[in-house]
């Protein structure tokens, strides 16, 4: 799982960024074009490892109930590793956590938890097997993406040496390309001059490549020039200097200073994605060395859309330091986030398609023998637990710690992956930060916080350009009733 990586950031989803390992997984497996997350990091991670909507397990806010990134899961919501133990699986975690409890308490046998999202080169908070590690000093050679992969390799090598007759589950959660934009100099160098054409040109290039790849036949959404970051930090914006802009205004209207500053930011973002791919390559090689590649099912996705946020955290921002270095704190911002979420509208935190659409690459040579396939059925991160349990032949228990386990909302994607006939997915539901959405078949009802409902036929308009709410009020009421039904069900579930 990547963090804040946009729908189009991998080469096999339209990007100019070099991602040969992800592209090879897609070429040997398949991609889903309509797979969804929850629009934010912690609710997606809760859904990923429990198989429930985050609100169902108190890991995102629900009106009348509360919950959020500090909420605690109900007893009946164990994490996936606990469910896999019955089939003899050992489980490993490397990277970001952002779930309540600790990894080993959640059923993992080994864990490296990188808890400091403000410092890629010198984290102050990180843990191995739930025990705190010393802070890392700057200029030590440490880089978070590499360290996460190093731990994954350590676990896999140990597994191959000591537990080769046992199956394994490994959750690798990269912290990149989440802000701050920190990258290794040699990776930035690859992209230093790539983005001087500007975000309008790069976005169109990505869109044309997506069409050529067969990902969709949609139009490109209009750029919302007046939509800035989801949270306003005007004092922090001043720290970043006159090169920063907080709206995706036309590239030609930027000053030369702004164009240079913005192009440098995107080069760093590209470098961070490139490095994720390089480290995935090392992990894949380890699987080959273990002769486990063919019978390992690999999923790759992002926790939310690319971020339009602009803020300064951690150690602050030194405008005199080299962009992308430890002394800087840059964010992608809405200009480039709009590019990364091509062809969709909006960004992380919103539940328009740009905030919730994620790439999903699936690779499994022993079962998915026909490569380079694209599936256009809908799916959601709530579906990954039932899919993995299905793959592993594990039946989910009806009781957990003497408490009844509610029916989970997701469904196994295995029939979709194997291109068998499938039933339409149950309606999908979103609520985050006051933004609401529900998708039933091709129809989506969506509302930004405090705004009226918008209605779209995603089969014809996934770019969410033609609002049909006024023309089809009955359908709006029907879909709103589904949204309310889900919310009421979740409240009752948590009050019982």
| Structure confidence by residue, pLDDT tens digits, 235-257 | 999 999 999 999 999 999 999 99
Supply the pLDDT for residue 433. Answer: 97
What's the confidence (pLDDT) of residue 152?
A: 98
pLDDT digits (tens, 9 = 90+) for 33-90: 999 999 999 999 999 999 999 999 999 999 888 899 999 999 999 999 999 999 999 9
Average pLDDT over residues 268-296: 98
Q: Which residues contact 102 (CB under 8 A, 6 or more apart)?
A: 111, 113, 127, 130
- Cα of 136 vs its chain's centroid, Å: 26
pLDDT for residue 372 is more than 90: yes
Instruction: Tokens 């962009």: give the residue.
Output: 323
Rounded Cα distance, 396 and 176, in Å: 32
Say if residue 218's pLDDT is above 80.
no
DSSP labels, 260-284: HHHHHHHHHHHHHHHHHHHHHHHHH
Percentage of the residues of the chain whose pLDDT score is greater than 90: 97
The pLDDT score that the predictor gives to residue 422 is 86
196: tokens are 């001087």
Q: Tokens for 390, please give them.
A: 């299905």
Q: What is the pLDDT of residue 315?
A: 95
Residue 138 has pLDDT above 80, yes or no: yes
Across all residues in the chain, what is the average pLDDT? 97
What is the mean predicted confidence (pLDDT) over 110-117?
Answer: 97
What average pLDDT does range 364-368 have in this prediction? Answer: 96
Q: Rounded to an integer, what distance in angstroms lies between the CA atom of residue 144 and that of residue 175?
A: 7
Name, in order, each residue with C-beta under 8 angstroms of 229's C-beta and a sequence gap of 6 or more.
246, 308, 309, 310, 311, 333, 334
Count Cβ atoms within 10 A of the Cβ of residue 137 and give its class: 0-12 exposed, 13-18 middle, 19 or more buried. Answer: exposed
Please report, for residues 153, 184, 435, 466, 488, the alpha-carbon distance to residue 454 in angstroms, rounded to integers and kept in the order given: 46, 42, 12, 9, 21
pLDDT exceeds cutoff 90 at 229: yes
Residues in the chain: 496
User: Does pLDDT of 205 surpass 90?
Assistant: yes
Assess whether pLDDT exceeds 80 at residue 496.
Answer: no
Report percent pLDDT > 70 for the chain: 100
Give the model's pLDDT for residue 187. 98
SS3 assignment, position 11: helix
* Structure tokens, 180: 């701050």
CB 179 within 8 A of CB 307: yes
Given CA atoms 183, 187, 189, 193 in this order, what sign does their dihedral have?
A: negative
- For residues 314 and 239, the answer to whether their CB atoms sit within 8 Å is no
The whole-angstrom separation of Cα 259 and Cα 201 is: 13
Task: Work out whether the CA dihedral 55, 57, 60, 62 comes out positive or negative.
Answer: positive
Inform me whether the pLDDT recorded for 217 exceeds 90.
no
Query: In whole angstroms, what is the distance from residue 10 CA to residue 21 CA?
Result: 10
Is residue 495 very low, low, confident or very high in pLDDT (cuts 50, 70, 90)? confident
Query: pTM (2 decimals)?
Result: 0.98
Residue 25 has pLDDT above 80, yes or no: yes
Q: What is the mean predicted confidence (pLDDT) over 167-187? A: 98
Q: How many CB atoms lie within 10 A of CB 366?
A: 10
The DSSP string of 69-133 is TT----TT---HHHHHGGGT-EEEEEE---SSS-TTTTT-SEEEEE--TT-SSS-S-EEETTEE-
pLDDT at 421: 85
Radius of gyration of the chain (CA): 22
User: Nearest 5 degrees, angle CA 36-CA 38-CA 44?
Assistant: 105
Instruction: Taking residues 105-124, report their average pLDDT.
Output: 97
pLDDT tens digits, one per residue of 435-457: 999 999 999 999 999 999 999 99
Q: How many whole angstroms separate alpha carbon 445 and alpha carbon 104? A: 39
How much is the pLDDT for 216?
Answer: 84
Mean of pLDDT values over 371-388: 97
DSSP 452: P
The mean per-residue pLDDT over the stretch 269-298 comes to: 98
């Amino acid at each position: 799982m990547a963090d804040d990586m946009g729908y189009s950031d991998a080469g096999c989803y339209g990007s100019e960024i070099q991602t040969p390992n992800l592209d090879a997984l897609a070429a040997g497996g398949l991609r889903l074009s309509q797979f969804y997350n929850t629009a934010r990091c912690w609710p997606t991670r809760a859904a990923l490892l429990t198989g429930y909507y985050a609100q169902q397990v108190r890991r995102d806010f629900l009106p009348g109930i509360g919950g959020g990134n500090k909420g605690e899961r109900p007893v009946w919501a164990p994490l996936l590793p606990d469910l896999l133990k019955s089939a003899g699986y050992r489980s490993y975690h490397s990277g970001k956590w952002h779930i309540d409890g600790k990894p080993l308490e959640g059923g993992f046998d080994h864990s490296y938890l990188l808890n400091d999202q403000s410092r890629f080169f010198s984290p102050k908070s990180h843990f191995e097997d739930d025990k705190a590690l010393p802070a890392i000093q700057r200029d030590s050679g440490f880089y978070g993406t590499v360290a996460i992969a190093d731990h994954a390799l350590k676990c896999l090598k140990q597994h191959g040496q000591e537990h080769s007759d046992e199956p394994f589950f490994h959750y690798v959660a990269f912290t990149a390309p989440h802000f701050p934009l920190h990258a290794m100099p040699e990776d930035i160098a690859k992209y230093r001059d790539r983005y001087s054409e500007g975000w309008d040109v790069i976005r169109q290039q990505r869109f044309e490549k997506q069409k050529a790849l067969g990902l969709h036949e949609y139009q490109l959404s209009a750029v919302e020039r007046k939509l800035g970051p989801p949270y306003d930090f005007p004092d922090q914006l001043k720290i970043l200097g006159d090169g920063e802009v907080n709206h995706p205004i036309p590239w030609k209207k930027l000053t030369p200073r702004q164009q240079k500053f913005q192009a440098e930011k995107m080069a760093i973002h590209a470098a961070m994605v490139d490095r994720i791919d390089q480290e995935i390559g090392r992990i894949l090689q380890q699987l080959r060395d273990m002769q486990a590649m063919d019978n390992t099912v690999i999923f790759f996705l992002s926790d939310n859309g690319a971020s339009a946020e602009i803020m300064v955290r951690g150690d602050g921002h030194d405008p005199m330091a080299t962009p992308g270095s430890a002394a800087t704190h840059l964010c992608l911002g809405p200009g480039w986030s709009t590019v990364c979420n091509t062809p969709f509208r909006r960004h992380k935190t919103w539940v328009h398609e740009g905030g919730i659409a994620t790439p999903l690459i699936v690779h499994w040579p022993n079962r998915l023998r026909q490569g380079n396939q694209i599936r256009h059925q809908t799916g959601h991160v709530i579906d990954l637990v039932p899919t993995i349990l299905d793959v592993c032949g594990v039946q989910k228990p009806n009781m957990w710690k003497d408490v009844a386990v509610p029916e989970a909302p997701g469904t196994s994607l295995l029939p979709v992956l194997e291109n068998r006939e499938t039933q339409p997915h149950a309606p999908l539901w979103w609520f985050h930060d006051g933004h609401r959405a529900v998708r039933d078949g091709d129809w989506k009802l969506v509302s930004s916080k405090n705004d009226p409902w918008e209605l779209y036929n995603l089969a014809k308009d996934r770019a969410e350009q033609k609002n049909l709410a006024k023309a089809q009020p009955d359908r709006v009421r029907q879909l709103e009733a589904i949204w309310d039904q889900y919310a009421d069900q979740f409240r009752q579930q948590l009050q019982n």
